[in-house]
């Protein structure tokens, strides 16, 4: 498997940032395990925060790490093992002993506990940071030789893996739902480039989180109230969209094959039935349960 060079670091980066970036690149390329990378990065950040440097701040370091992970996920190919390693890193860093760092903000004293990701704390800002990376556009993060479609589907694969592994729920960024071109437009009469980019992203969500998404739809899930409902009808709607794309002449052979791969995966998921416990993992509410409580 080819070596991946991560687009991290700046000419004015501090030594500690360089150590974090080197650890992430070693992690992605398999020369550092996820557990070792978690321990190393945690040690670098906590040591720097405890040093009392005036420019060290808990939230600053947290945002720096989230940004580095998100930008790394964009350039790691969707099928590269480095994608799974980044997800495992986020799992392993949460298993480290918790460290509390005090800090002052807006004239008040606060405490930051490293590293806990859950819905109640907004996944410690990670889901919001991933949203900002995606919604901010890929242009400001890509190198001249890279194609935004490549970055988009890599990022989609990473987000889907976060869901299927029970790490972070970021389905609002999925290409399967609005405002994605896949969800809002017709394959036969839409902007071809925009649609194919969304189609690739949608396929990645099915390939890497199909079982989790199927469970969510079968159990008629509400992630938040108010919020979108995940139902069998939603699953069927995605399938219809892929079926249309698989027959759309204007997409070409490659575009139709992308849709066909998603359909094949959906058929496999349906044949297996519900095999995951993702709703329990994230504490999602079913529509039926919500109605019973009223």
Q: DSSP of 127-179, one letter per residue? A: HHHHHHHHHT-STTTS-TT--HHHHHHHHHHHHHHHHHTTS---GGG-TTSTT
SS3 letters across 58-105: HHHHHHHHHHHHHHHHHHCCCCCHHHHHHHHHHHHHHCCCCEEEEEEE
- State residue 290's pLDDT score: 54
Q: What is the dihedral of CA 85, 22, 63, 35, to 10 degrees?
A: 40
**Boundary-marking domain end, from 147, 169, 191:** 169
Residue 105: per-residue pLDDT: 81
Same domain, 110 and 141: yes
Q: In terms of domains, do 208 and 148 share one?
A: no
**58 lies in the same domain as 183:** no
Whether residue 140 sits in one domain with residue 25 = yes
| Distance in angstroms (rounded) separating the CA atoms of residues 67 and 29 | 19
Is residue 68 located within the same domain as residue 152? yes
Q: Are 57 and 74 in contact (CB under 8 A)?
A: no
224 and 162, same domain (yes or no): no
pLDDT of residue 291: 53
Full-model pTM: 0.94
Residues 6+ apart with CB under 8 A from 278: 163, 164, 166, 211, 212, 215, 216, 284
Last residue of a domain, one of 169, 202, 229: 169
* Cα–Cα dist 34/249, whole Å: 44
Q: Among 138, 169, 200, identify where a domain stops.
A: 169
Query: Same domain for 18 and 110?
Result: yes
Compute how many other C-beta atoms are within 10 angstroms of the C-beta atom of residue 182.
29
Query: What is the Cα–Cα distance from 48 to 65, expressed in whole angstroms?
Result: 14
Phi, psi of 85 (to 5 degrees): -65, -35
Statement to judge: residues 162 and 181 lie in one domain: no
Q: How many domains does the chain have?
A: 2
Same domain, 108 and 128: yes
d(CA 143, CA 75): 10
Cβ-count burial 73-89 (b if 16+ within 10 Å, e if not): bbbbebebebbbbbbbb
**Averaged in consecutive runs of 10 residues, what is the pLDDT profile of the chain (294 residues)?**
90 95 98 99 97 84 97 97 99 98 87 94 95 73 61 97 98 96 90 93 99 98 84 98 96 97 99 97 81 52
Position 53 scores a pLDDT of 79
Please check whether residue 143 is in contact with residue 134, taking contact to mean a CB–CB distance below 8 angstroms. Answer: no
Residue 57 belongs to what domain range? 1-169
**232 with 215, same domain?**
yes
Asked whether residue 5 falls in the same domain as residue 140, the answer is: yes
């Amino acid at each position: 498997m080819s070596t991946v060079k991560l687009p991290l670091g700046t000419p004015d980066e501090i030594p500690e940032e360089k150590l974090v970036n080197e650890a992430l690149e070693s992690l992605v390329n398999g020369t550092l395990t996820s557990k070792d990378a978690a321990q190393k990065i945690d040690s670098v950040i906590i040591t720097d925060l405890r040093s009392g440097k005036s420019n060290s701040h808990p939230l600053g370091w947290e945002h720096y790490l989230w940004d580095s992970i998100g930008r790394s996920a964009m350039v790691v190919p969707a099928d590269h093992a480095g994608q799974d390693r980044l997800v495992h890193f986020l799992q392993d860093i949460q298993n480290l002993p918790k460290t509390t760092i005090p800090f002052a903000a807006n004239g008040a004293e606060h405490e930051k506990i490293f590293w806990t990701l859950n819905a109640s704390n907004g996944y410690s800002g990670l889901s919001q940071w991933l949203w900002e990376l995606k919604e901010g556009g890929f242009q400001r993060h890509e190198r001249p030789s890279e194609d935004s479609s490549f970055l988009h589907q890599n990022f989609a694969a990473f987000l889907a893996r976060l869901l299927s592994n029970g790490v972070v729920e970021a389905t609002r960024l999925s290409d399967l739902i609005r405002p994605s071109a896949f969800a809002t437009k017709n394959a036969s009469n839409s902007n071809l480039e925009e649609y194919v980019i969304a189609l690739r992203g949608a396929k990645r969500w099915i390939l890497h989180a199909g079982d989790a998404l199927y469970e969510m739809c079968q159990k008629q899930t509400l992630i938040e109230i108010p919020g979108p409902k995940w139902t069998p009808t939603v699953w069927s709607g995605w399938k219809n969209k892929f079926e249309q794309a698989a027959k759309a002449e204007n997409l070409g052979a490659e575009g139709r094959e992308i849709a066909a791969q998603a359909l094949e995966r959906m058929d496999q998921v349906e044949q297996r039935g519900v095999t995951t416990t993702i709703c329990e993992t994230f504490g999602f509410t079913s529509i039926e349960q919500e109605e019973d409580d009223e």
